[in-house]
Chains A and B, each alone.
Chain A
């Protein structure tokens, strides 16, 4: 082993081991080791449709954007800057406006277009600051009709349709941990992105699983996601 060795670093999310214990069959994808399925992708997708499923999407890239010039920086990319508490969903992913000076950008792409526009705004004259939080924030996704009653057991969130429709976001404690909660419906089902500090990954996954027992929650992997998309 020496400095000229060809390295093949593998990335694992902070709930990697817990997902293995749940029966995850892993596969490598763009440097990440992620769950392909948990034994039966069809059943996983059916559980999502009928009740609630949980998947780890922490491999998504995430950036926190802070600063008083946040709004103009976003607009420079020709994206409508959402109001605080609102989310904009586009081809690159989604942008969640947490407050006037704070936003979270999540994307499946390494370098989405909006990012380069925002980077261009970061200068001595502008108060716009970007920070890669891909590893700092774990991103779990809950999908299905029972996702919201499950979340109601973990935090004082008003998740009624009238209060928290699709493409909204909020910050609040979930099982005692500060989280970002984003409503993003997919596959014609209600869906929630739950983002929180990665060191709590195992703890909050357990809490979600415990709360989800009454709804027969199941983890699901990439194969089930494809079935849901079809």
Chain B
């Protein structure tokens, strides 16, 4: 297709060339083209096939609002090519058609459309049941729009940004530009969001001569747009986000904006919505044929891309501004065979006279009846219409054409306002929805308010900007005066304009078939009528039953058509049906953009790099990286039991509790008593919830009368910190809790030679008599201020050494060096699990669950009922009085069983295995399991379900290794 002569309004760069692939052929384009404009220039008429009936569809809105041009671009499905800028090497493929767009075999479905009305799946294919089983795979295969290539890894690097502004303006057309400029002039910090790559809105393709009522500047519309845009872009107070789509309004003046691969959270004190309005199609037979386009889309093609969308055109409009398209088409060399005017009164305006001069037939009080053609439009039949929308079909006329330009209805783009509580109502004088109420902190300007005159649009934009800024920056005298004058001018202008509005017909009463109401879902007017007849006569019900407005356009093209059809079917006016609820996102947003960058927090101990250097296999424990093993668990086990081993236990949660009421707080939180714990001593503690269920366990060391050092399980530190703080506040305790997990690096040095190693590094007397089990000391180890805890999770003589974390690596290196002569080995989590299991030391969360209390877990000794109160006491009293129902016991078997296996009695699960490992000591499997109380006696047998058979296990209540704890206390 040849392009029209070059004109300053165009956005294409004719000196450049871009080529891309479409359906196996190379297409040439210019920089500035969209894929859609380039394809149209190459002669393509059919751009897609409709969702259900596979009807041919061509360009319609050229604004990214309708579903007609969805294609697969570079592997991404459902790209609206009418707005997608073309790039060198693009691979564009049509979708939802076979074998081609021109000849789609699936179009045969339309021949049996009587079998597939809306909601057919609710009524058919379920009797007999096998029918649905047969039909479902076929329906699933045929349904859907576009295919996701699951083998393709997602491209794009997703980011997030949080922006705050005093004034946010959504919409970069004339109203938005004027508002942003005015707000910035008044001193506000402004963010402007516009979905187009260039600012200016509809003025970008406006060639009428205009005057800016504020600056006095004159020029063609597109020239004024560029001038305004330049001023805004150069204004330091204004940040422009473009091309960016504001897709949702959320609580707290928050707007979600998709800016390429970035999600912007934009929060503003005041928001101005200048998102304009959009045309929607007319309703007549075959209203979806390729070649039938919205007037605004045609004007874009003519001006921005300098394309002729057809050779013989019919223009259908309801006002002079839109009828003026006929003049533009004529100037472009397109034969305008009719200008159909849906106004109910004929006029003799300057435009009408011009049409007559050019011998363009003007048909007042006419409306379309039907479009003729198979794969594209060949003719348009029109007929006179009365005020009730009745067509006088006996007076119809047919005009051969290949282009129909429809500008008979507009909807304001009010989604963001409605999502924040704004309301709309139908204005019968303007024949469109208008804003009825606007949320506080919001204002609206421009086309969105139904204004058409560019001068009034600019005025309203400026007023909105000044008013928004005024709330934060009091206006000077000049600006105040100007604002009042602008308000007066706008009121006068609106009043004058309203007087010129002539009523027009929006919907005719024709009952002809194949009037597509919802282009996305192929819902016809007949479908709407049938649904209403079945009782779905409210807009929300109608939407859900027919699926109209649930497709890619989200109601932009169809919600007025549905409302109009509904009103006519119910014999009501258009003020009655209302609208459906608007929810974000307004525009499609890639899931990757919503997900944002991959921020998965990871915690590393100070010795992490040493573990990597030692060849540790890492594992994830919550957010922590921990060594699973270094060599093998057998090797490491042997080192600990026979020589000395070292494990990094930095991940243990650690808390400092300080304050004169710290003892009382701990007595409340724990089941044990800690107010009597002497300074320098350690006690094991269990924390229960108010229901008596074990929440956590750990050690409590008393550093001073009002100072405790607490360890918790690795995964529970955040909860325990909050838990303690909560109860301290509830009781008004002077007890301050600080999470010091990261403050200390910690290691557990354990084994028969642990003392030998440690004694090389410290002056502290660590002999068995001086430093007994469950004692706490502070002193230096290798010159580092340290906390030493004589405790033993793994059942050997050992110490936990806690040092300021910046010394962690140094401590590790020094201990490894000191232990070398004794054959020290680092050991990992897996080895630790075997070692502690041999001692039957439980792990909260592994051996306990949401039903485990300390009495049944074999920890009666940590529950001090003599305390007046502690959290969980009431329920533990009940357990004690009613007796145990279950018990956590140790067991042995000959075969290694899986953790989680069921304990079975008479083929009924009655418990479960919580831990199980092969023990090198016994050369058998040892473990822990919950069993019913009656099976918990020492030596009792029970069965474990394992690989579809039963394994016999025996209760072993004492620890499997060093049952008296002598090794621990050496």
State the A residues within 8 Å of B (CB): 1-3, 6-14, 17, 32, 58, 64, 66-68, 124, 127, 129, 131-138, 149, 152-153, 155-160, 162-163, 175-177, 197-203, 207, 210-211
Contacts and interface: CB of A to CB of B under 8 A. Distances in A.
Contact of B744 (A135, A158, A203): A135
Contacts of A6: 783
B685 to A, nearest CB: 21
28 contacts: A1-B761, A1-B818, A2-B760, A3-B759, A3-B763, A7-B782, A10-B807, A14-B606, A129-B736, A131-B738, A133-B740, A135-B804, A136-B741, A137-B742, A138-B742, A153-B159, A153-B160, A156-B162, A157-B162, A158-B267, A159-B164, A198-B743, A199-B741, A200-B602, A200-B742, A202-B604, A203-B604, A207-B599
B566 to A, nearest CB: 42
B212 interface: no
Contact of B783 (A9, A137, A201): A9
Nearest to B818: A1
Contacts of B782: 7, 9
B867 interface: no
Contacts of B161: 149, 152-153
Nearest to A164: B164
Interface string B798-824: 000000111111100000011000000
A8 B783 CA distance: 7
A66 B735 CA distance: 10
Contacts of B762: 3
Given A129-B658, A175-B601, A211-B159, A163 B740 contact: no
B164 A160 contact: yes
Contacts of A176: 599, 601
Interface string B724-768: 000000000010101111111000000000000001111100000
B265 interface: yes
B571 to A, nearest CB: 52
B603 interface: yes
Nearest to B706: A124
Given A66-B736, A160-B164, A175 B599 contact: yes
Interface string B176-210: 00000000000001000000000000000000000
B783 A66 contact: no
B604 A12 contact: no
A1 B817 contact: yes
B659 A129 contact: yes
B603 A203 contact: yes
B784 interface: yes
Query: A3, A131, A175, A177: which has the most chain B beta carbons within 10 Å?
Result: A3
Nearest to A174: B599
B597 interface: yes
Nearest to A8: B783
Contacts of A132: 743
Interface of B: 159-164, 189, 265, 267, 597, 599, 601-606, 608-609, 624, 650, 656, 658-660, 706, 734, 736, 738-744, 759-763, 780, 782-784, 804-810, 817-818
Contacts of A124: 660, 706
Taking chain A's interface residues, is the majority helix, strand, or loop, or is none over half, making it mixed?
loop
A152 B805 contact: no
A140 B741 CA distance: 19
B164 A158 contact: yes
A135 B810 contact: no
Contacts of A159: 164
A135 B164 CA distance: 34
The 8 A-B residue pairs with the shortest CB-CB distance in the complex, in nearest-first order: A7-B783, A136-B743, A11-B806, A198-B742, A135-B804, A199-B603, A197-B742, A66-B736
A186 to B, nearest CB: 24
Contacts of B740: 131, 133, 136
Nearest to B780: A7
Contacts of A7: 780, 782-784
B498 to A, nearest CB: 41
Contacts, number: 137
Nearest to A153: B161
B165 to A, nearest CB: 8
Nearest to B661: A127
B268 to A, nearest CB: 11
A211 to B, nearest CB: 7
B742 A135 contact: yes
Given A3-B759, A67-B736, A177-B601, A13 B806 contact: yes
B164 A133 contact: no
B810 A9 contact: yes
Contacts of A211: 159, 597
Nearest to A66: B736
A203 to B, nearest CB: 5
A201 B810 CA distance: 18
A164 to B, nearest CB: 10
Contacts of A13: 806
B295 to A, nearest CB: 41
Nearest to B758: A3
A14 B783 contact: no
Contacts of B650: 199
Contact of B604 (A64, A156, A163, A201): A201
Given A131-B656, A133-B743, A157-B162, A14 B805 contact: yes
A11 B810 CA distance: 7
Nearest to B612: A17
Nearest to A64: B738
Given A66-B736, A124-B660, A134-B804, A199 B604 contact: yes
Contacts of B159: 153, 211
A177 B806 CA distance: 20
Contacts of A210: 597
Contacts of A138: 742
A152 B162 contact: yes
Contacts of B783: 6-9
Given A68-B734, A134-B804, A198-B606, 12 more contacts: A1-B761, A3-B759, A8-B783, A14-B742, A131-B738, A132-B743, A135-B743, A135-B804, A157-B162, A175-B601, A199-B604, A200-B602
B679 to A, nearest CB: 15
A155 B161 CA distance: 8
Nearest to B813: A10
A9 B818 CA distance: 15
Query: B597, B763, B780: which has the most chain A beta carbons within 10 Å?
Result: B597
A152 B165 CA distance: 13
Contacts of A1: 760-761, 817-818
Contacts of B805: 14, 135-136, 198-199
B601 A200 contact: yes
A151 to B, nearest CB: 9
Contacts of B164: 158-160, 163
Given A3-B759, A136-B740, A163-B164, A67 B804 contact: no
Nearest to B656: A131
Nearest to B757: A1
A202 B738 CA distance: 22
Nearest to B624: A199
Contacts of A203: 601-604
Contacts of B602: 200, 202-203
Contacts of A137: 742
Given A12-B606, A135-B805, A152-B161, A160 B189 contact: yes
A206 B657 CA distance: 32
A1 B819 CA distance: 10
Contacts of A12: 606, 806, 808-810
B734 A67 contact: yes
